Amino acid sequence: MKKVGFIVFAILLGVGLGALAAISLSWQQATQLPEWYDSQKQATNLDATESTIARDRIIRGITTTSSSGITRIDGELNATDINQLVVGAIATNPNYRPVLEGTRDINTTIQNGQVQSGAVVNLSEIPTEQLNPTERALLERLSQTFPALADREIYLGIEGQPSFEQGRLLLSEDTVIRVGDLRLTLDQLQSLFGVSREQIEQQINQKLQQEGLDLSTVEFQGDSAVVRGEVRSP
C-alpha cells in the first residue's frame, strides 16, 4: 500500500512543477493555497519513524495472513488513513527526502467518491544539490521563469474518481492536476507535456506490481475506500 502514496506524490510533484514552468497565465489562481492549509497550525507529522509506525498500523488493520502464508487485503480506509499512507510512502523513501525538506503539509480528502490529494511546498527549501540532474534543471528553469515562486508556498495536487477494472487502476475522465487553484485536465496535460492518461495509469500499475500488490478491488464510496486484494510473496 505504501507505493500507492509514493506514486501519487511523484505524479503531482513532477507534473505540477512542469505545469508551473510552462504556464504564464492565471498567476493568481496558480499561487492560491487550499482552504485546509494554515501555516500557523501544526502540520502533518512527516518524520520517517513516526510515519512508518502509523502506516504499518493502518496496513495491519486491513490485512490477514492465512495458514498457507497468503496475505489478503480486505478493509475500509478513510481519508485520514489514505493520507497517512501517502505521508508514510514519502517520508520513508530516500529519493524524496530533498523534496520533503520543502514540504509544509500534505492532505488527502474523499468526498462523494472524489479523491483529492496534494501537498503545500516551498521550493526555496528544497536542497537542489541533492536532486538528480533532471529535477535540478526543472527547478532552475522554474526559478528563472517565475522568480517570485522561488520563495513562496505552492499547492500541487491531483483529484478525480479513480477506479479499478480487472486489477488495474484507471483514472476518471474528470481527473485534474491542481497548481494552486488552477486545474489542468488530462487533455491539457497531454497537450502541454505529451503525458497521456494511459502513461500515468501504466506507471502506477507497474509500481503496484513491483511492490507485490494484486489489488482486485478499490472502490471509493462516500468518504472512504474499500480495498481488496493480495500481497504477493517476494
Share of the chain above pLDDT 70, in %: 76
Any residues with CB less than 8 A from the CB of 65 and at least 6 apart, and which? 71, 72
CB 15, CB 192: distance < 8 Å: no
Query: Structural domain tally of the chain?
Result: 1
What pLDDT digit, counting tens, does each position of 108-133 carry? 999 988 999 999 988 888 888 888 78
pLDDT at residue 51 greater than cutoff 70: yes
Task: Give the pLDDT score at 149.
Answer: 67
Select from 60, 173, 178, 42 the least CA-distant residue to 109: 178
Tell me the CB-side half-sphere exposure of residue 24, using CA atoms within 13 A: 5
Rounded Cα–Cα distance for residues 23 and 1 (Å) = 33
pLDDT band at 145 (very low <50, low <70, confident <90, very high): low
- CA pair distance 50, 47, nearest whole angstrom: 5
Identify the pLDDT of residue 4.
Answer: 43
Burial code of 168-179, b = ≥16 C-beta within 10 A, e = fewer? Answer: ebbbbeebbbbb
Confidence class for position 5, pLDDT limits 50, 70, 90: very low
Q: Which helix (H) or strand (E) holds 10?
A: helix 2-22
Distance between CA atoms of residues 107 and 49, nearest Å: 19
Read off the pLDDT of residues 53-112 as tens digits, 9 standing for 90 and up.
888 888 889 989 888 888 898 999 999 998 888 887 777 777 777 888 888 899 999 998
Report pLDDT digits (tens) over 149-159: 677 888 888 89
For 151, the domain range is 2-36+45-231
Roughly how many angstroms between the first and final C-alpha of the chain, as a whole number? Answer: 15
pTM of the predicted structure, to 2 decimals: 0.77
In the chain, the amino acid numbered 135 is E
Per-residue pLDDT averaged across 192-203, rounded?
Answer: 78
User: What grid cell was written down for 34?
Assistant: 487550499
Residue 189 clears pLDDT 70, i.e. is over it:
yes
